[in-house]
Structure 1
């Protein structure tokens, strides 16, 4: 009987297909009890208390990413809560987490591509499907769990995510010192995965700001850093990091986040929800100081490409108009005196939208300079900064404006609607439209107010625009001449 049983067991063992036993790696919490409470109840109550105190207005745009600090909860937890409250209860399936490595060194980017992460609040699964797709699109992204094992920058974010979201997964990625092109490579892969996936995927950047022993320097440096982030110019921010002009331990993850925003939409937007530093949190004005901020990255909810409109619908409040004129005036004052461009804190979303813009300078009623961008290649306020300087110093028709002249200079800003090509000249309405004429390598533009000032009719307006382009005045009648109209919102001192 015993022999029969043994033979039967051998039969079933040999005849059965061996089952592969797959064991998933589980990353244990490393800084639990140090950076945040190790007791489940205390941890949950701590986070909920931070969230309750964070006051965040409704965000109408689609949030595609957040920036949060990673110090111990008593220092930065209250600040981090602002970004987390903004995405609380959103239907988010996966968070691609980008954090700086404070411990490990490695080449490329370090991925934790499968298994689970554990905190006192439970386990969170890795989104293995997204991780695999990212690895296939970015060869610099390599499986490297060891780089994550003793790192706190991403671990401290997980309990917050567990508190505000349900049924989500994560993809943790560590970043060290990548070249700009490497940042572009990873950002491109993440952007493509987000676009291609049916899941709602966002990115998370973990970063503190200034680290040092001066409270004053902390505030000044962090203001400069956040201004750079709001401009959403990743190459400029990357170079500023290398120069030491800005400070963020997660600076390179921030660059990657900026690039993702630019890849996903023509009209991304950055909003700083909260800023403070460790000295302010502790109620002291000296000693070691670290800056913390909560930032969200958004795009239009439907993310449709902006359509060119026949009617110019941009409207600015009186305060926004005054702000643009003030930006132009302060830029000229600072740049003509010290060759420095002031830092401007822009809060209005409209001033960050992209429009063509011209700056006109007049002195005693006479033109002193006028240069601009025909199309919206930069945010509006940046276009005003650039062209205030260009009109003062780079209009080839005039000598450069001097600092001593500024008291006599009047500033006018014209914001342009998108260009519209026309075939029928009757579409041109003098007093409403400006003209842009192009033929071969020749092109010229006249603003809407020019025809009004000189009391021109439509034909005269066309002729003068041709002359401005360096063409014969009748060239507007030629078949290969392109004629465009636009509207302008005029703001004057």
Structure 2
């Protein structure tokens, strides 16, 4: 009898927990759309973010940290994209989000306790090891209603793919924020994370005073020293995320002086045409190294196999009237942005070729598109038929370590390929072209200008940009 009673009690307890624990999660997940201000499908959200990113200026550096707004995505997404462009080729496996508390009341730092967030674009999982390390200075809270965390997730997924997250809510207290800065500095020695700092400026102020507040706040951030940034704790400055900015300044103090680049500033009144209330949006990046040419690019055997198989699958899907959709990859290299050429051949004869020389999207997206175009859209060759695909060999050529140069003395014949761009005209020659032709660097430059449909002297005349690059070939 006692055993039967115990069994019934356990069953009732299990039912109770299923209601208490799991039912609210479905409601909280449903709030994601209202918090970020978008209720479309995953593909529509991805296209929206791509649109923001394509309109953002091209970056030339790798960001260790970015400062971004967290209003509704339609309002502040265009500004945020200017900072996220600086992480498009970053090799990050994890992200640390610093955000002010909006839904929680906190007096000390708090780590988001969610094991994962299920966004329209997929799952973002908790960095458990980092969360455990953070418990020394942070308590845990639920962040399912925190816009400073949730608004950033789709951008992070779009730029970096499958990464783990740690989110910390930072109070507006200098000593508590300093402790978070110390934690972040320690985390950067474990495995380099991308730091995402969510802030809003002048929230709720009239337009004129809000703009003045934002301008003065930004001037304090330019030095990025704790002594300068600490001044924002004054009541004279209206910032949603004072502790976030101070923690960031502490995290990057005491070592190599970082470079803070202000990338964009706008406000709700400028974007929406509203006079009140004002909210300022800032995009900035802490940059320690230049992107093009400064980061070495190499592939493991597994990465080579994955790249080749992805190209083949993209072609196979296309020939069957379908589209291969890849949202992320387990390989960080697939989140980087090399130029891509896909060459198809039947025996020794080329039967299809396509390229994107300076893509603005990660490799896992560019590769699918270029491979499909090589099979079906090359104007110099007939489209490949599905019945012929088994006879086709696939070669993927990656253009890596792309670096703009100002002097032809920087060209190494045999190692470097060249790319010339002016306005909407772009052309490239691979390294072996100069070797086969026996060209000098000057001839190489002039021939590349001509290949782009430009006068041979366009670079010498100062009318075009010149890039050098190396290639990695992946083939069967």
Alignment match, 2:139: 142
| SS at 1:235 equivalent | helix
Structure 2: how far apart are the matches of 1:86 and 1:244? 32
Matched, 1:53 2:55: yes
Could you tell me whether the CA contact under 8 Å between 2:60 and 2:290 is conserved in 1? no
* CA drift at 1:290: 0.7
Alignment match, 2:232: 241
Alignment match, 1:287: 276
* CA drift at 1:67: 0.6
Matched, 1:251 2:252: no
Where in structure 2 are the equivalents of 1:271-420 lying within 5 Å?
Answer: 271-284=261-274, 286-300=275-289
Structure 2: how far apart are the matches of 1:208 and 1:107? 20
Worse-matched range after superposition: 289-298 or 31-40: 31-40
Where in structure 2 are the equivalents of 1:42-191 lying within 5 Å?
Answer: 42-59=44-61, 62-113=62-113, 115-135=115-135, 139-145=136-142, 148-178=143-173, 180-191=174-185
Could you tell me whether the CA contact under 8 Å between 1:89 and 1:166 is conserved in 2? no
Structure 2: how far apart are the matches of 1:227 and 1:70? 21
Could you tell me whether the CA contact under 8 Å between 2:202 and 2:279 is conserved in 1? yes
Could you tell me whether the CA contact under 8 Å between 1:134 and 1:190 is conserved in 2? no
* CA drift at 1:41: 2.2
* CA drift at 1:235: 3.4
| SS at 2:188 equivalent | helix
Could you tell me whether the CA contact under 8 Å between 1:29 and 1:119 is conserved in 2? no
Could you tell me whether the CA contact under 8 Å between 1:112 and 1:173 is conserved in 2? yes
| SS at 1:232 equivalent | coil
Closer, same or farther: CA 242–184 of 1 in aligned 2, 3 Å: closer
| SS at 1:98 equivalent | strand
| SS at 2:156 equivalent | helix
Could you tell me whether the CA contact under 8 Å between 2:66 and 2:197 is conserved in 1? yes
Alignment match, 2:376: none
Could you tell me whether the CA contact under 8 Å between 1:29 and 1:117 is conserved in 2? no
* CA drift at 1:279: 0.7
Alignment match, 2:327: none
Matched, 1:222 2:214: yes
Matched, 1:266 2:256: yes
Alignment match, 1:327: none
Could you tell me whether the CA contact under 8 Å between 1:268 and 1:297 is conserved in 2? yes
Matched, 1:194 2:188: yes
Closer, same or farther: CA 29–112 of 1 in aligned 2, 3 Å: farther
Could you tell me whether the CA contact under 8 Å between 1:228 and 1:237 is conserved in 2? yes
Structure 2: how far apart are the matches of 1:36 and 1:89? 27
Could you tell me whether the CA contact under 8 Å between 1:29 and 1:118 is conserved in 2? no
Closer, same or farther: CA 84–291 of 1 in aligned 2, 3 Å: same
| SS at 1:184 equivalent | helix
Alpha-carbon displacement from aligned partner over 1:78-106 (angstroms, at most 9, x marks no partner): 00011111101321111111101112113
Matched, 1:204 2:196: yes
Structure 2: how far apart are the matches of 1:52 and 1:301? 20
Structure 2: how far apart are the matches of 1:95 and 1:30? 23
Indicate the structure whose relative CO is greater, using CA pairs within 8 Å and at least 6 residues apart. 2
Structure 2: how far apart are the matches of 1:200 and 1:243? 32
What TM-score do the two structures reach when normalised by structure 1? 0.51
What TM-score do the two structures reach when normalised by structure 2? 0.53
Alpha-carbon displacement from aligned partner over 1:34-69 (angstroms, at most 9, x marks no partner): 53322222211111111111113311xx42111100
Structure 2: how far apart are the matches of 1:200 and 1:232? 20
Alpha-carbon displacement from aligned partner over 1:146-197 (angstroms, at most 9, x marks no partner): xx1322111010011111112211101112232x2222222112211211x2
Could you tell me whether the CA contact under 8 Å between 1:134 and 1:193 is conserved in 2? no
Could you tell me whether the CA contact under 8 Å between 2:210 and 2:279 is conserved in 1? yes
Greater gyration radius: 1
Structure 2: how far apart are the matches of 1:194 and 1:83? 20
Could you tell me whether the CA contact under 8 Å between 1:50 and 1:77 is conserved in 2? yes
* CA drift at 1:111: 0.7
Structure 2: how far apart are the matches of 1:109 and 1:200? 21
* CA drift at 1:29: 5.5
Closer, same or farther: CA 44–301 of 1 in aligned 2, 3 Å: closer
* CA drift at 1:144: 2.0
Structure 1: how far apart are the matches of 2:205 and 2:244? 24
| SS at 2:222 equivalent | helix
CA RMSD, Structure 1 to Structure 2 (Å): 2.3
Could you tell me whether the CA contact under 8 Å between 1:232 and 1:258 is conserved in 2? yes
* CA drift at 1:222: 0.8
Could you tell me whether the CA contact under 8 Å between 1:121 and 1:162 is conserved in 2? yes
Closer, same or farther: CA 301–141 of 1 in aligned 2, 3 Å: farther
